[in-house]
Structure 1
Amino acid sequence: MRKSAAVSVASKPCSSRSSKSPLTAAKTEYLALLAELDRRRRTNLLATYTPYQRQAEFHAAGSVNRERLFMAGNQLGKTRAGGAEWAMHLTGRYPAWWQGKVFDGAVRLWAAGVTGEGTRDNPQRVLVGPPQQQAAWGTGMIPADAILQTIMGRGAPGALDSVVVRHGGGGDVQAGESVLSFKSFEKGREKWQGETLHGVWFDEEPPLDIYSEGLTRTNATGGITIVTFTPLLGMSDVVLLFLSAGEVERMVKG
C-alpha cells in the first residue's frame, strides 16, 4: 500500500502573548509621553509666552494707560505681544510676572486689521491658529481648552466672525464667557458703532476716524486700545496721538 505524500508535520505551539521586550515597552511609553507633551505645548502657547524687554514694557504700560502703541519693524513680535495680551484678558490667565492691565471678569474684545483677509491672516491666526486648518484651531495664543465656540464670518474663506472663550473657572477667578470679535478697517466707521467693549486691538495702523470710534467703544468700561504696526505712513495722525511735542520736534529735526 502506497503512503500518501501529504504527511502532516507537527507544528510548534504558538503563544498568543505579546513578545514585546520590557525595553520596547518602555520606549513606546516614552514616545507617547513626548507626543502628549508636544500636544500640550502646541495647544497652550500662552503658558510659555515670555516677552522680551520691549514687549514687557508695552504690557506693563497698560496698568496706567488706556491707549498704547507698539510700533516696530517687521517680525519683531508686535502681533505676538498683542495676541498674548488679548488671550490673557479673554481667559483671565495672567502669569505671575504680569504687571499690566487686569480685568476681573469676562470681557468683550475686538481685534482688527486693514481687510478681512489681513485680519484673518494676522490677529486671527495668532489668536486661534492657521485659518485654513480648522483641525489646528486651538494652537494659537488662546489655549485650546478655553475655546468654547467659533462662529464663521461671511467674508474671506477661513475667516471667523467671533470666538466664545472660557474665562476663569479656576482658583479665585470666577467662571464666565468672554467674546472676541474680528473686524476690519475697510468696512468703514459705521461698522464700528454701537458696541460696548473692554478693549480694541488694531493690528495695523487705522485711519483716525476708525481709531477714535474704537476708543469710544471702550469709554463706558474704562477699557483699553492697543495698536501694533510697522510704520509705513510716516508721521500720521494716529502716530501723533502717542507722541509728545518734544518727541515730534526731535523727529522733525532728525
Structure 2
Amino acid sequence: MKTSAAKTEYLALLAELDRRRRTNLLAAYRPYARQAEFHAAGAQNRERLFMAGNQLGKTRAGGAEWAMHLTGRYPSWWQGKVFDTAVRLWAAGVTGEGTRDNPQRVLVGPPQQQAAWGTGMIPADAILQTTMGRGAPAALDSVVVRWGGGGDVQADESVLSFKSFEKGREKWQGETLHGVWFDEEPPLDIYSEGLTRTNATGGITIVTFTPLLGMSDVVLLFLSAEEVGGMSQNLGSLAPVKRGRGGREADGEGAW
C-alpha cells in the first residue's frame, strides 16, 4: 500500500516537473556561441542581423530574446540589450501564415493547439491575454505579457503584436515601439518603416533569416565593401552580423 502511494506521488512529481519545464522554456534557454554573440551585440547596436542556414537556431534565438524583453526576465549570463521597463514589440514574417507558424509558434506555442499556448518561449505564467487575428486561422493579433514583478521590480504589462510584410508599408505606420523582429528578410521599405517605429525609444530591430534573395537591399545594409567582395567565397560559414547606429560591423570569418 505504501509502495503504491509512493509510486503515485513520484509519478505526480515527475508530471509536475515536466509541466514546469514545458511551460517555462525560457528558463532553460542556453545559446550556442553564435547565438550568444548575436544577443551580446545588442548592447551596442540598435540593428542586428542573424543570417544562417535552415534549422540553425535563428528563430529560436529571436524568440528567446523577445521573451526576455517582454517579461523582463534576463538570465545571469545575459550581456545584450536590457529594457528597464515594460515594452511594446512587434514580430513579423512574410505572410500571416508564416508569422503564425514561426515567430508565434516559437513565442507562444503550437498555433492550432490552444491548450498548449504557454509552451513557447514566453512562460505560461506571464501570458495575461491573447487576441485573435482576422487573417490566417489560429493566428494571433497580440499578446499581453506580464513584465517584472520580481523583487523590487513593480509588475507591469508588455504588449506583443504580430505583423506580416504582405500587408504593405502602410500597415507599419504610426506605432511607437521598443523593438521589431523580422523573422525572414523584409523588403527595404518595410524594414525602414519598422526601424522608424523604434526611433523615439532608442529601440532595436533584429532580422533572422536564411538568405534566399541573394544580394538584396536589406542584406547590403549590413555589409562592408570587403564583405561584399568576399561573400561568394564564404557561403558555407554564415554568421551573425550586427549593424550599429553609426556604422557597420561584422563578426567572424565568412560573416555576411
Per the normalisation by structure 1, the TM-score is: 0.88
C-alpha distance in 2 between matches for 1:129 and 1:239: 30
Maintained 8 Å contact 1:105/1:174 = no
Give, in angstroms, the shift of residue 171 of structure 1: 1.3
Give, in angstroms, the shift of residue 239 of structure 1: 0.5
C-alpha distance in 2 between matches for 1:245 and 1:217: 28
Describe the superposition over 1:182-237 as per-residue Cα deviations: whole angstroms up to 9, x where unpaired: 00000000000000000000000000000000000000000000000000001111
* Secondary structure in structure 1 of the residue aligned to 2:69: helix
**Paired residue for 2:27, among 47, 52, 56?**
47
Give, in angstroms, the shift of residue 175 of structure 1: 1.0
C-alpha distance in 1 between matches for 2:223 and 2:210: 16
Q: Structure 1 stretches (4+) deviating beyond 3 angstroms?
A: none
Unaligned runs of 5+ in 2: 229-256
Aligned to 2:161: 181
Of structures 1 and 2, the one scoring higher in RCO (CA 8 A, sep 6+) is 2
Describe the superposition over 1:3-23 as per-residue Cα deviations: whole angstroms up to 9, x where unpaired: xxxxxxxxxxxxxxxxxxxxx
Identity %: 94
* Secondary structure in structure 2 of the residue aligned to 1:38: helix
Give, in angstroms, the shift of residue 157 of structure 1: 0.5
Describe the superposition over 1:53-109 as per-residue Cα deviations: whole angstroms up to 9, x where unpaired: 000000000000000000000000000000000000000000000000000010000
C-alpha distance in 2 between matches for 1:169 and 1:122: 29
Give, in angstroms, the shift of residue 167 of structure 1: 0.1
* Secondary structure in structure 2 of the residue aligned to 1:158: coil
- Counterparts of 1:104-253 in structure 2, within 5 Å, are 104-248=84-228
* Secondary structure in structure 2 of the residue aligned to 1:109: strand
Describe the superposition over 1:102-154 as per-residue Cα deviations: whole angstroms up to 9, x where unpaired: 00010000000000000000000000000000000000000000000000000
Maintained 8 Å contact 1:70/1:78 = yes
RMSD: 0.5
Give, in angstroms, the shift of residue 244 of structure 1: 1.2
Maintained 8 Å contact 1:92/1:173 = no
* Secondary structure in structure 1 of the residue aligned to 2:5: helix
Give, in angstroms, the shift of residue 155 of structure 1: 0.4
Larger radius of gyration: 1
C-alpha distance in 1 between matches for 2:97 and 2:11: 39
Give, in angstroms, the shift of residue 174 of structure 1: 2.3
Per the normalisation by structure 2, the TM-score is: 0.87
